[in-house]
A and B are shown apart, each in its own frame.
Chain A
């Protein structure tokens, strides 16, 4: 029992910090660079993203193990996973608008962006590829979500500070954001070897 719990914890830490999706697996970069300009949007995105991440990891695990494997249609996993994510995002969009317009006003805009994020499709694919069980899939999903949120928040705070900086003109905007990411990624290599997966 303790061992299993440790494994879940290791998966979570590995997914969020050591193999952080943005800094070492280079996924979700589009949104990472897109919405990290302002702190407020970054936080809104982080919350929405983590929630969607965990739920879609769970949904796709269930579908993968109870529908796709018995029917032997695992070769259709790309189509089915993106379908699940898109359907879930669409559904929560509709439900949120009806049930909690306030929350929708705050987070709804990010929902639309999410279904084209690479991480959201990568996590179910990796879960399927690594043969994680249900809890492992969940903790991998949660770790990925938190890791992305962490990256986004750090980046947003740095970019707000950079607004004031006298960056050489060709490097303003995107280029300096990429170079910042490079340097953060370099700092994150300090975690390497922390957990072997």
Chain B
């Protein structure tokens, strides 16, 4: 769900303004389409489980959407594709090994509570898919952090559990990461093509970038949030990420691992939950980047993208409010 339509550059009110049912649904399905490469890579690496988990998420989302709209006596708008897209995004954010009830409950939290209770599409404060995942992570901490080594799983290999690159980085340090992956080049390449442990859709950076390029070309997303987000993470992890002092961190590892690419291009840009003005979007991106780096480097969780985006979602109305009439230009430069 990643849209910055042309009209919005002029419109400064807080809620998005969707022209008509048709265009909303067109946008939703296009964004879904752009996730196809990432999904294909997920299927390649994690096998039938990838299809199974994503399908459960989609079914759960569609059902929750229908259920709440039915209960509230609203028009049933399951077909507009937004619930479908939330389901797909949620699926791509799940580890391959989760038991069946986790995708179902998570998608209920995502669609029914985070979106529909707040008034449905266009009114939700938080990114539904991420909220569903956060709920699942806190509720089933173990199942949600059991990762499998990617294999070309259709060949029927038995999978082994392992830690994500960020998990290794957090607990053991960068030397261990190199020990596991070989040399630095292999590490970067494997991170780039996605041969690593992680959530289904987040591993293959290339596939994600293809999808993002498509959306950029279609002008469904703008560069402001992703670029300021990624730049901040890169900068901060470079300065503070190393053990030997300032400027010894490895920003490339941080940029390529975890859910950063998926989060920055497809989740942070969700047009309902990010600021509507460009300056606000840059502040939003920098905030996301700062919080991601803070959580990754200092707090308890190895990965911080999800929490960073959710936290910045809290601030979106505040950013919108303050940047409507006057300009907070002070921090703009850092984002470039």
Interface extent on B, as a size class?
Answer: 35 or more
CB distance from B87 to the nearest CB of A (A): 19
Q: State in angstroms the CA–CA spacing of A190 and B116 once bound together.
A: 24
Given A176-B117, A186-B134: 11 more A-B contacts, CB < 8 Å: A165-B123, A168-B117, A187-B134, A187-B307, A190-B291, A190-B299, A190-B308, A190-B310, A190-B311, A192-B299, A193-B300
A-side interface mostly: helix
- List the one stretch of B50-58, B259-267, B312-320 in contact with chain A: B312-320
The answer to whether B114 and A165 have CB atoms under 8 Å apart is no
Within 8 Å of chain B (Cβ to Cβ): is A62?
no
Q: State in angstroms the CA–CA spacing of A97 and B210 once bound together.
A: 64
**Please, what's the 1-or-0 string for A163-195, where 1 marks a CB less than 8 Å from any CB in chain B?**
011111101000010011001101111111110
Which of chain A's residues have a CB closer than 8 A to the CB of B173?
A: none
Within 8 Å of chain B (Cβ to Cβ): is A39?
yes
CB distance from A36 to the nearest CB of B (A): 12
The answer to whether A186 and B301 have CB atoms under 8 Å apart is no
- List the one stretch of A73-81, A82-90, A118-126, A151-159 in contact with chain B: A151-159
Which of chain A's residues have a CB closer than 8 A to the CB of B123?
A: 162, 164-167
The answer to whether B118 and A165 have CB atoms under 8 Å apart is yes
The answer to whether B318 and A154 have CB atoms under 8 Å apart is yes
**Please, what's the 1-or-0 string for B290-332, where 1 marks a CB less than 8 Å from any CB in chain A?**
0100110011110010111011011101100100000000000
Q: State in angstroms the CA–CA spacing of A186 and B310 once bound together.
A: 9
Query: B40-67: which residues lie under 8 A (CB-CB) from chain A?
Result: none
CB distance from A21 to the nearest CB of B (A): 16
Which of chain A's residues have a CB closer than 8 A to the CB of B317?
A: 157-158, 160-161
Which of chain A's residues have a CB closer than 8 A to the CB of B131?
A: 183, 186
